[in-house]
Amino acid sequence: MVRILIVEDEHRIANSIKKGLEQERYAVDVAYNGTDGFDLASAEDYDAIVLDLLLPGMDGLEVCRRLREEGKHTPILILTAKGQTQDKVAGLDSGADDYLTKPFSFEELLARIRALIRRPKNSLPIVLTVGDLKLNTQNFEVKRGKQKIQLSSKEFSLLEYLMRHPHQTLTKEQIISHVWDYNADILPNTVEVYIRILRRKIDLPFNDPKAGRAGKKALLHTVRGFGYKIGD
């Protein structure tokens, strides 16, 4: 079990990260201030720490510096507010391994955490496959059969999230919390709109009834009243 500590005083962000990471089967602890964060981080063995910089009690830089002084080498990902470049520099100077600027999407955070943990036996495949649909998470290429499909970055994130959980119904709430920024204003039908766009790109062009048996099966399904899934 991979253990992650989140040190973040904004409860909404902390709890939403915790929920997302737990769905990815990480074990997650949360500290809502720097002092508790430091105490937990020095007492327990985490695989990674997500550390906000502006914290009540002890600030993030101090937490980071003191952990390193104590000889704790747990990978630390610092969260900084937009545009505070000097914070990033100070964070990396104080011994952090990486930083992420708010607002960020959950998929971005997850990718950073995976990179920090670098556990090869757990690593996910670079190319995700559902039926004849392939998504390359490294060069961002998406193909159905031999045909390349162009997606915007949001469409790509949405498809990647669905393809990481094939044959599984995902609710709109799960999709929003994984694919959109925490601070983004999401309209109730945003997910539907993006699903419709994806369907137009990955299913409809391949599903021409005139093609008869050459037509391909739809991959993207609406599970009425529950959400969406990819694959049967």
Closest separation between CB of residue 72 and Ca ion, Å?
21
| Cα Rg of the chain (Å, integer) | 20
Closest separation between CB of residue 9 and Ca ion, Å?
5
Rounded to an integer, what distance in angstroms lies between the CA atom of residue 49 and that of residue 5?
A: 5
Kindly tell me which of 52 and 203 has the beta carbon lying closer to Ca ion. Answer: 52
Answer yes or no: are the C-beta atoms of 29 and 41 closer than 8 Å: no
Closest separation between CB of residue 82 and Ca ion, Å?
13
What tokens appear for 45 in the block?
């063995």
The sheet with strand 133-136 has its strands ordered as: 127-130, 133-136, 142-144, 147-149
Kindly tell me which of 36 and 203 has the beta carbon lying closer to Ca ion. Answer: 36
Instruction: For residue 228, list its beta bridge partners.
Output: 170, 222
- Residue from 21, 31, 34, 52 binding Ca ion (CB under 5 A): 52
Region from 8-16, 93-101, 162-170, 174-182 binding Ca ion, contact rule CB under 5 A: 8-16
Residues 6 or more apart whose Cβ sits within 8 Å of residue 89? none
Closest separation between CB of residue 8 and Ca ion, Å?
6
Closest separation between CB of residue 53 and Ca ion, Å?
7
The verdict on 54 binding Ca ion (CB under 5 A) reads yes
Binding positions for Ca ion, 9-38, rule CB under 5 A? 9
Kindly tell me which of 52 and 160 has the beta carbon lying closer to Ca ion. Answer: 52
CA distances from 18 to 4, 38, 209 (A): 9, 18, 45
Region from 27-35, 39-47, 52-60, 206-214 binding Ca ion, contact rule CB under 5 A: 52-60
Q: Interface residues with Ca ion (CB under 5 A)?
A: 9, 52, 54
